[in-house]
A and B are shown apart, each in its own frame.
Chain A
């Protein structure tokens, strides 16, 4: 009998255990999935509070920001940060699940497409009324910046979110000046042809035996499209050229019908066959770590990459006293004209939205309005007076903290964070303060470089239908484009009139013109 009772109890326990996972009480009530942090403990932040979901790494940045507590006190609002996922892909998928379950925090970061679609479906609030009533600073900014307004407003006039902005920066070309000197290169290249000659000289000097390539890099290898005149762009008449991607150099934004596009592919073929460019990188089998190792160990001399990377390499090669990196100017086009690089003003992956019917919506919008106010912008751009910067009598700021020291502090350690907080909340960007916050070495080359060669590109937002159509087309176009271009570059397909015509035909079949039409229609709709 005892055995029987024991067996019955065991079965009940197993059933209960099986169902335990089905309970909906496992997460934070009222929050999306993730771990939450306490809002500012100091009650002087005021009784107003809201919860905010954002990707984990940005949450860490905010928590490490040395004026995060002060920000909350000054604004009078406490913010409970909620970790919505550690990497971007999982974060946005978690947001979809959270939207489905209805468990959303008072504010959250989403992609532009999620903001626009879910707002139209009724999941997120139209912020227009709230802004008109409670956010004079935001309203003034939107009214004064029609380009920004067009990026956050739907065709029926609803404001579906507030977008974070990017400072103006681009990739730039840097080189190991000590290796240039050793190879006897004294003049820096100013055109693609001169650049090719420099690569050949380096190759001749350093050889091929040790896996040396003059030009090494990461991610997409098709750089310098601006020098060949085959970059994607929107002309003054509003015509979209190429697959529009705001020319960020990630392998999608090219005008394949531009004369220079074939020249560019032929140039890359030359670089590949002569071993002037890292062949593993071009083939897509090289990782970021491989690139870093090559550049740190002298198996590469030139990179075209993120503008703070020279400092990173210099810091990591501190044990090599000869290791020196300098920056070269952006090459002119082969016809002698100045080239240009572009950046997106609005970060389409960072829209702050408020769920429909949220009781703390006014608190959220008031906090955001403070970020757009004079006081809020001063804090966001220069930190706290006396801690991050010293405000001079003439209104200028002097940085107290050293970027080079702050940038290498590990997660969990308090730092100035100016250069990171731009991804955490939407507020007006200020390039001057951004550049000034960087270390002296980066400042010495980047301010002049960006002033000369960088601009904000026109941006496009898509309707739900356009986004779906474009996404489907890009899924096959991008793969075929990468595959066929690489085949030319590696020499697997010879470049001649017949193969080029076939390539263009294949790109058409893959949807090139259809994508361009979607881009054009979306831009036209925004321009109305």
Chain B
């Protein structure tokens, strides 16, 4: 009883002292609960033969049938391999580029030029995927694309890049890097600017040159941020950009461009069949569980090795 009173008193005290802050927190909490947490209940349809008409509570419960359908289908593993390879190369190539870009940009002394370059690198992020793919197609067009014009001038033959399965992954990664490196670099630029200037002053007095300052001060100070960003990126490793893939995909590139998302999209919204939302949800759940395990494992590993982690 005493404890309850104490708890009640604490609440009252909290409301009296920080009531306004709690009130300000309510909108954010509501958005979190309504739009992030509550929709998770929809995952239940992955265990059902879902019908829009019958709803979540009226649809037939099928247990793990949808998961079994996905996991026992040999084609799933073909597209899973494509998905992982695409995500792997995207991560491997696109992760270090913003760091290198931020490091180089921060070494530029002419501030107007620095701002200009940063702004220009930032713009592609706001271009829609459809436009970005169109730009890429124009650049690599076999008939009048600038890339092929240069190749022909250099004595090489023209290549229909968009119709070569082997070129799908490099082009996808290239487009991803072009669209995102400027935006991703902002985080690192902010982190670099947050480094205590006394570190640099001390190294200056010790006679360090710019390379040594970058190597022994900037980079080590960026490691916690790099780890955090790496773990965040790892969380979305299986989530390739389906819009980009669909726009770049054609029958010539199916062997490398058919990924889990496109496969399930065809199964779920096949033109001849009835929509199968349950299959799509089951696959999303599998992807989320794998991503969650990866994030937790990487975070634990990072903490063990470098004493840094995202959480």
Q: A468-B274, A471-B274 in contact; A99/B52 too (CB < 8 A)?
A: yes
Shortest C-beta distance, B16 to chain A (Å), equals: 13
A contact face: mostly helix, strand, loop, or mixed: helix
A464 to B51, CA, bound (A): 12
Among B23, B142, B258, contact of A8 (Cβ-Cβ < 8 Å): B23
B270/A475 in contact, CB under 8 A: yes
Among A17, A89, A122, A476, contact of B269 (Cβ-Cβ < 8 Å): A89
B26 proximal to A (CB < 8 A): yes
Shortest C-beta distance, B295 to chain A (Å), equals: 29
Binds A, one of B91-99, B120-128, B185-193, B249-257: B249-257
B53/A100 in contact, CB under 8 A: yes
A121/B53 in contact, CB under 8 A: yes
User: Which single residue of chain A is at the shortest CB-CB distance from B270?
Assistant: A471
B198 proximal to A (CB < 8 A): no
Interface string of A100-138 (1 = CB under 8 A from B): 100000000000011001100111000000000000000
Interface string of B246-279 (1 = CB under 8 A from A): 0000111011001000010011011011111001
B24/A471 in contact, CB under 8 A: no
A14/B27 in contact, CB under 8 A: yes
A122/B266 in contact, CB under 8 A: no
Tell me the count of chain B residues lying within 8 A, CB to CB, of chain A. 40
B residues in contact with A510, CB < 8 Å = 75
A7/B20 in contact, CB under 8 A: yes
A405 proximal to B (CB < 8 A): no
Residues of B within 8 A of A (CB): 20, 23-24, 26-27, 30-31, 34, 51-55, 69, 73-75, 137, 142-143, 160, 162-163, 250-252, 254-255, 258, 263, 266-267, 269-270, 272-276, 279
A96 proximal to B (CB < 8 A): yes
Shortest C-beta distance, B195 to chain A (Å), equals: 36
A475 to B27, CA, bound (A): 43
A280/B163 in contact, CB under 8 A: yes
Task: Taking A14-B27, A118-B53 as given, write out 8 further A-B residue pairs in contact, using a Cβ cutoff of 8 Å, ordered by the A residue number.
Answer: A22-B34, A113-B272, A283-B163, A284-B250, A285-B163, A464-B274, A468-B273, A471-B272
Shortest C-beta distance, A513 to chain B (Å), equals: 16
Among A17, A283, A471, contact of B273 (Cβ-Cβ < 8 Å): A471
User: Which single residue of chain B is at the shortest CB-CB distance from A479?
Assistant: B254
B274/A113 in contact, CB under 8 A: yes
A388 to B308, CA, bound (A): 78
A408 proximal to B (CB < 8 A): no
B residues in contact with A482, CB < 8 Å = 251, 254
B274/A467 in contact, CB under 8 A: yes
B residues in contact with A284, CB < 8 Å = 163, 250-252
Tell me the count of chain A residues lying within 8 A, CB to CB, of chain B. 49
A residues in contact with B263, CB < 8 Å = 475-476, 479
Could you give 24 example pairs across A and B, Cβ below 8 Å? Answer: A4-B20, A7-B20, A8-B20, A15-B27, A18-B31, A96-B52, A96-B275, A113-B274, A118-B51, A123-B53, A283-B162, A283-B251, A284-B163, A284-B250, A470-B270, A471-B272, A471-B273, A472-B279, A474-B266, A474-B273, A479-B258, A479-B266, A483-B252, A483-B254
A353 proximal to B (CB < 8 A): no
Among B75, B160, B255, B273, contact of A476 (Cβ-Cβ < 8 Å): B75
A474 to B254, CA, bound (A): 15
User: Which single residue of chain A is at the shortest CB-CB distance from B23?
Assistant: A11
B residues in contact with A182, CB < 8 Å = none
A475/B142 in contact, CB under 8 A: no
A11/B272 in contact, CB under 8 A: no
Q: Looking at A8, A97, A122, A280, which has the most chain B CB atoms within 10 Å of its CB?
A: A280
A468/B53 in contact, CB under 8 A: no
Interface string of A365-398 (1 = CB under 8 A from B): 0000000000000000000000000000000000
A residues in contact with B31, CB < 8 Å = 18
